Amino acid sequence: MVFLVQQTLLFAVPLMIVALAGVCAERSGVINLALEGIMIFGAFVGVLFIRIMQANNIFGQEQGQILMILAMLVAAVCGAIFSLLLAFSAINLKADQTIGGTALNMLSPAIVLFFINLIAQQNTLGMAKGGAASWFMIRPSTFGLPKDYSWGAIIDILINKVYLSTYICIIVFIGVSIFLYKTRFGLRMRSCGENPHAADSLGINVYKMRYAGVIISGALAGMGGFTYALTTTNCSSTGEVAGYGFLALAVMIFGNWTPLNIAAGGLLFGLFKCIAATYSTLDINGDGVYLLSQIGISPYVYRMLPYLITLIVLAFTSKKSRVPKAEGIPYDKGQR
């Protein structure tokens, strides 16, 4: 049970944060198809940062948590800078946003693999020393307690053998949601995705708001990309994130462009993804019976489940779908 909850969170958190990144951009009126590319770029920059810091002995293993937080920040900043390319083409040049996003999705793995090959002479860039678990995972020894120390069932789920990045992402997720829905700036940004001309007539600078949306989106996606690399691929960058960016896009549409639904969608998806990854060793109620692997269903059925269930749920909830009205349409002051 402990294992299931923690694993689900590991899968769900990058999806949630990147889906929220999509919301920020699309609510301001720009389709951000480049989420996948930005994630790849963020993962690369974060890993590279950790590698350089380790190689120069600036941080030791004891300061692992600080190093990780810094790497997340660096990934977020670089993700935001990278997303400026999309913002420039979509907002200033009024170009087709699908093309801009696709271009970034191609550019990012190309650049990343180009530099990884120059730096490491192979297609994978890992940490300079140690592994993600030994450097960044929170365990009793992080607090100076003995190795097999237990805080009791509930607290164990929360802080034993987890990554701090998961919680940072959850806090950021809540923060950005509040920002989008409870602040004046958030309201103005969302109005640019619904009716930019009305927003402009009330004195809101649509271009600035859309830039803000894309930049926040880039920062979140970059951070999500690094979180993915840290928790899922042992803090290494390989020029891909296993289609997580596109999955996040799907979770965003699934969640109807609202944070609460996205969180629910991300968790649902994460749960089934987790079952698919661990079904053979999954002991649901702790009685030593591996139920799922004993039914005798092909593993591919479990691996298909997250996608199949998304399709089925969509089929039943489709009527309520609401897309930001002005998304994908370049804002032209002269119109109307």
Partner 1 sequence: MLRLDPDTGKQKWYRSDASKSVLSAIISIIIGMAVGTLIIVIVGLTKDGISLKGMWEGIRLVFLGVFSTGRSEGNLTFGFNPVNMGNMLFRATPLIMTGLSVAVAFKTGLFNIGAAGQYLMGTMGTLTVGHVLGNTDCPIVIAWLAAFLAGVVLGGLWGAIPGIFKAFLNINEVITCIMTNWIAANLVTWWFDAHDIFKNAAEGGKVGYIIPLKNVGVVTPKMGMDVLFPGSQANGGFWIACIIAVVMYIMMTKTTFGYELRACGSNRHAAKYAGINDKRNIILSMVISGSLAAAGASLYYLAGNTEFFWSTYLSLPAEGFNGIPVALLASNNPIAVVFSGVLMSMLNIAGTQLKSLTAYNEYIADIIIAIIVYLSAFSMFIKQFINNREKKKGGNK
Which spans of this chain sit near partner 1 (rule: CB under 8 A)? 85, 89, 93-96, 98-100, 102-107, 109-111, 113-114, 117-118, 240, 242-243, 246-247, 249-250, 253-254, 298, 300-301, 303-304, 307-308, 310-311, 314-315, 318, 321, 323
Nearer Cβ to partner 1 (109/222):
109
Select from 197, 195, 249 the least CA-distant residue to 18: 249
Closest distance to partner 1 from the beta carbon of 36 (Å): 10
Closest distance to partner 1 from the beta carbon of 194 (Å): 18
Contact 280, 299 (CB under 8 A): yes
Nearer Cβ to partner 1 (198/304):
304
d(Cα 243, Cα 255) in Å, to the nearest integer? 18
Closest distance to partner 1 from the beta carbon of 40 (Å): 12
Nearer Cβ to partner 1 (95/170):
95
Closest distance to partner 1 from the beta carbon of 94 (Å): 7
Nearer Cβ to partner 1 (130/328):
328
DSSP helix, strand, coil percent of the chain (3-state; round to 5): 70, 0, 25
Nearer Cβ to partner 1 (197/303):
303
Closest distance to partner 1 from the beta carbon of 204 (Å): 25
Exposure letters 94-115 (e unless 16+ CB within 10 A, then b): eeebeebbebbbebbbebbbee
d(Cα 189, Cα 285) in Å, to the nearest integer? 46
Three-state DSSP at 164 gives helix
Strand partners, 125: 237
Closest distance to partner 1 from the beta carbon of 283 (Å): 24
Contact 52, 129 (CB under 8 A): no
Closest distance to partner 1 from the beta carbon of 51 (Å): 18
Nearer Cβ to partner 1 (31/76):
31
Angle at 297 between CA 293 and CA 299, to 5 degrees: 75
Pairing outcome for strands 162-163 and 137-138: antiparallel
Nearer Cβ to partner 1 (94/325):
94
Both tokens of residue 185? 């700036």
Q: Among all chains, which residue has been given the structure tokens 């109807």?
A: 256
Residue 164's CB is within 10 A of a number of other CB atoms, namely: 18
